[in-house]
Structure formats: structure tokens, C-alpha cells
Amino acid sequence: MKVIKEFIVPTVILFAICFVAALLLGLTNDVTAPKIAENAAKAQQEAMAFVLPDAAEFDEEAAENENGIYYTAYDKDGNVIGYAVTATGKGGYDGDITLMVGITADGAVNELPDGSPAISFLEESETPSVGGKLKKKADFLVQFAGLTGSAALTKNGGTVDAVTGATKTSTGITDAVNNALLCYSKINKEVSANG
């Protein structure tokens, strides 16, 4: 009888608690998953409209190559005006940095009417007080507006000035923009090959 009270009853109670908790987590996931997917799709649409504001429509389905995922953007007459490219950069302070970059049909980082580059931050986990501020640091981001080739930080022989104290975040952003441009170059080769 002592064994039942000391071992079996607590085991059964613990099992019941775990079962109920798992059941509640599963139900919560079933309820929230559609809303999470809806919010992600809405954020994706907003980012695409931000990076290519002149687009009348985008492909419904994304395409991809090894450097990124992209949606083709069209004007009101159905002409390709660019690509909304989602690309990830390595080297951030606290992990990868994922951006959506607007690339024009001629392969340049789209420049918005205010002169800023068409870059939208999708995922990053940088320190808010240092690297996270780069999202709003116009003098850093403006270095990418109109960029057509690969970029590198000045410390690596390039032309992009890193932000002091946020070199790793600067590296991650630069890598993501480079990957977006590489994605475009592969799209351009495919289009050229298909005539």
C-alpha cells in the first residue's frame, strides 16, 4: 500500500497533468495557427508593397533559388518592374538577419522616393540598443540605394561604412543585400536563357 501512495499515485497525477497540458497546447496551436499564418502573409504583402511601391501586382506564388525567395512585380500593363527578394545574411551579432529587398528590373536595389533603399527587415534578433538601431539608421542603409553589384564593408575593401559598435549587424545586413542581388543575377540569367 505504501508503494502505491509513494510512487504510483504521484506518477498517475503527473501523467494526467502532462496529458492535459499537452492537450491544451495542441488545441491552442490549432486555434492560433491560422491567425499566425494570416499575420505572416499580411506582413509579407506589406513588405512587398513597401520595397516596390510602383507595383500593381505580384506573383501569387514565390519562386526561389539558392540565394533567396522572390516574387516578380508587375506594373498595371503586366510588364516586369522588379522583384521583391527575401534574403538572409550571415554574420549578425545574434544570428541571421532576413530582409526583403526590392530589386528593379535592371538589377539595382530600388531607391524609394525619399532616397532610402527599398529594404524591409523581416527577421532579426540583434541587440535593440546597438544593432537593432540600424533598422532606423538612414545614413547606413542609404549606402545600399541603387546598388547593382556586391557590397562589402570598408574594412573588407568595400564601400559600405559599418556603424561603430554594430559591425556584426552591419555585416549581416550587407550579406543579406548581397544575397538578394545574387538572387536577382540568377533570375536575370534564367530570363536571358529563356529569351
Domains of the chain by residue range: 52-193
Using the 8-state DSSP alphabet, how is residue 135 labeled?
Answer: G
Secondary element (H or E) of residue 98 = strand 97-104
Per-residue pLDDT reduced to its tens digit, 128-184: 555 556 666 677 888 888 888 787 777 777 778 787 777 788 888 889 999 999 989
Tens of pLDDT, residues 9-24: 888 888 899 989 998 8
Q: How far apart are CA 110 and CA 18, in angstroms?
A: 52
Confidence label for 121 from pLDDT (cuts 50, 70 and 90):
confident
C-alpha pair distances (Å), 4 with each of 7, 10, 13, 187: 6, 9, 12, 68
Specify the pLDDT at position 74.
94
Higher confidence at residue 101 or residue 130? 101
99: pLDDT strictly greater than 80: yes
Q: How far apart are CA 43 and CA 39, in angstroms?
A: 6
**Could you say which DSSP state residue 153 is in?**
B
pTM of the entire predicted model:
0.77
Asked whether 172 and 137 are in contact (CB, 8 A), the reply is no
Residue 123 or 107, more confident: 107
CB neighbour list of residue 180: distance below 8 Å, 6 or more residues apart: 67, 68, 85, 86, 87, 99, 101, 103, 109
pLDDT of residue 191: 61
Contact 39, 47 (CB under 8 A): no
Q: How far apart are CA 150 and CA 3, in angstroms?
A: 70
CA angle (84, 85, 89) in 5-degree steps: 150
Tell which residue, 53, 66, 172, 176, has the closest CA to residue 104: 53
What average pLDDT does range 99-114 have in this prediction?
Answer: 91
Whole-angstrom distance, CA of residue 182 vs CA of residue 12 = 57
- How many of the other CB atoms lie within 10 Å of CB of 169? 28
What local confidence, expressed as pLDDT, does residue 82 receive? 93
